[in-house]
Structure 1
């Protein structure tokens, strides 16, 4: 083992560059290269891999073959496909052995990543970390797969206890409590800083916005359904929806557009697709709304708060850890269109409330969710794990 701690970050390629990939890129960029040697391992060159390479981070690509490549994302949605991909998983582990063998620590981005490396991490003494990400609730076959993953890894990274209790059964959580470590993902408050846009916000109309994967889990239909009532009170309101569908999710976006058409509010809703300059987008908003059905601690909410935009969000997962009801926004119940309306109107009607809540939101992000704190905690954890395994 050299002076540097070599950490292999295993990420299964995706067509989207979502919040989890953004956060991983920030972590890879910020690790102290004098003490850490990060390597991004993936099955394909996606946007995360390309951006990582552009920042001088080592990237190793070991392709999936046959059934493993064909099923990819479908493996957890239909776990009966797992046996068919079993031989290909063994083949992948054989092909990736030379990369993993050199690791001091193995970090897996999600459950799929853990299960893909299961043959190797089940027999290695190399400490392995399962980063939960959003996670899948332990129902039916997923409960069994979660149990397998818990037995295989040494550490589990989560964003909140609420998230762990949602994803795992009570028995799983109590049995493996010592494996869990809470990491609140960090925000670069120098990048997400409203002061760089002072004087540029338009005042002619109100703008409600959200930034999310265009998928049923984000509850965007409830937000669209709330808009006609909001428009009845304030005509000069636009809803901006940033984001794109995940793999195979274009049909849902079309259904949302049909919903907009049925409400006859096409002139007040814009689907603006993927946003590269998120700080600029957030700076155009008066209120940020995230009506998700489940979450960890949503990165888009933290980014909005860092930009001093008050938030209306559903009280799911660990969202209440960052949205303090009545201080920097409002928490509402999920799957409730009516619950969205009043908090949004209250903020649109009161510019001083929007301002004070926005400022408080940024203070909370700086105190508890800065990228500096996040990176420091990660590096300290890696050092402890490495020292323990020596």
Structure 2
């Protein structure tokens, strides 16, 4: 029997965001006959670990640097895959000093603040020499890495993917009504959803400004996600007279069902990599209004599967949302084309296969 390739993942977050979900789903789908995997969460415990426990995916919590190193060496990985900037910068040199050279880094996004800092760029570029491959999840990120001096042969473009079958399951009308009633959403309102952690980089404050322009229209907004900005956003919604229209749902595990009652999806981010939430909305047949940042334009075709606007432009955001609210047929057409695009260009199976192929190439070399 062929030797299984031992792959060790190190993660810097246990929240339930796009990066965390993609990494989990990948390990869930990886070929278990060809690969043996283990995960170190080099961070406090969190909700995503319940998913790993349920699927019996091997992982450990951080026990301090020396014990973490002993654990890694005990596993004797053929490949180490790093997720998150903090983890990448901490472990790249350490792994080289431990004699582990088959190290892969993944860059899901450029910043969590909306501004790419000078030292963030420099430290990333300086330590990238300790990586065999740097996975970029969008063409925009791949181009950014090249512009910053990384050699083209080190960069591996692997788009995030989504399982369309999980999301393209329309709810029966009765179940839609029941879910809306449970949430307190008026049955006749147009439902706008935004799935994103409540952090400045996600631009929720600009969504609230846009909604205040439209507040005379009949809509309800589902803000799905956790984060430190929640209290501020709740307060700002009330100040704008939107407290009866905006529903803060926190973190949810029923995203497919919530997207099934959604008419318009909005992501007003200041910076992105390849947002999983947009993929999930498109896989649900929902038109998207998003800011033209990062790899979003590689997903959303402006005027075809949704609308793109510059970041921090609430007036334009409101304009595009209004167009979709006024035109049900346009919503259906854009939603259908978005689903077709996800199925043809961003299948989850393609992402898994390309990552497995990368692991095999590194192992054989």
For the criterion TM > 0.5, the same-fold answer is: yes
1:99–1:120 CA distance, 2 compared to 1 (3 A): farther
What is residue 222 of structure 2 aligned with on the other side?
240
- 1:228-279 Cα offsets, whole Å, 9 max, x none, are 22233x2x2111111010xxx2xx2222122112212211111111111100
Change in Cα spacing, 1:142 to 1:3, as seen in structure 2 (3 Å) is same
Contact 1:143 1:169 (8 Å CA) reproduced: no
- Coordinate RMSD, CA, aligned: 2.1
The residue matched to 1:10 in structure 2 has which SS?
Answer: strand
Per-residue deviation, 1:13: 4.1
1:144 equivalenced with 2:122 (yes/no): yes
> Which residue of structure 1 aligns with residue 183 of structure 2?
none
Q: Aligned runs of 1:328-343 on 2, under 5 Å?
A: 328-343=305-320
* Greater Cα offset, 302-311 or 258-267: 258-267
Q: Are 1:187 and 2:162 counterparts?
A: yes
Instruction: Trace 1:292-331 onto structure 2 (pairs within 5 A).
Output: 292-331=269-308
SS in 1 for 2:149: helix
Shift of 1:383: 1.2
Q: Distance in 1 between matches of 2:30 and 2:67?
A: 28
Q: Deviations over 1:89-108 (max 9, x none)?
A: 5x3664344245x1111000
Distance in 1 (CA, whole Å) between partners of 2:62 and 2:86 is: 16
Checking the alignment, whether the CA contact within 8 Å between 2:191 and 2:264 is kept in structure 1 is yes
Counterparts in 2 of 1:68-217, with a 5 A limit?
91=66, 94-99=69-74, 102-123=76-97, 124-136=99-111, 139-166=117-144, 168=145, 170-173=147-150, 176-197=151-172, 200-201=175-176, 204-217=188-201
Q: CA deviation at 1:374?
A: 1.3
Q: Which string of whole-angstrom CA distances, capped at 9 and with x for unpartnered residues, describes residues 66-120 of structure 1?
A: xxxxxxxxxxxxxxxxxxxxxxx5x3664344245x1111000122112222343
Contact 2:4 2:34 in 1 (8 A): yes
Aligned to 1:67: none
| Shift in Å, 1:308 | 0.4
TM-score (norm 1): 0.84
1:173-211 residue CA offsets vs partner (Å, 9 max, x unmatched): 4xx221111111111112111335467445611111101
- Give how far 1:283 is off: 1.1
Partner of 1:5: 5
In structure 1, distance between residues paired with 2:269 and 2:31: 35
How many residue pairs are counted as aligned between the two chains? 351
Change (3 A) 1:58 1:150: same
Tell me the secondary structure at the aligned position of residue 37 of structure 1. strand
Matches of 2:214 and 2:246, distance apart in 1: 13
Contact 2:110–2:271 (CA under 8 A) maintained in structure 1: no
Any residues of structure 2 matched to 1:254-273 within 5 Å, and which? 254-273=231-250
**Contact 2:146-2:152 at 8 Å conserved across structures:** no
Structure 1 Cα separation of the partners of residues 319 and 117 of structure 2? 35
Structure 2 spans left out of the alignment, 5+ residues: 178-186
Normalised TM-score (structure 2): 0.90
1:364 — aligned with what? 341
SS in structure 2 of the partner of residue 375 of structure 1: helix
Q: Are 1:8 and 1:107, in contact at CA under 8 Å, matched by a contact in 2? A: yes
Structure 2 CA distance for aligned equivalents of residues 377 and 211 of structure 1:
27
Classify the secondary structure of the residue corresponding to 1:221: helix
CA distance in structure 1 between the aligned counterparts of 2:302 and 2:231, rounded to whole angstroms: 33
SS at match of 2:7: strand
- Aligned-partner SS, 1:190: helix
Contact 1:109–1:132 (CA under 8 A) maintained in structure 2: yes
**C-alpha distance in 2, partners of 1:207/1:291?**
16
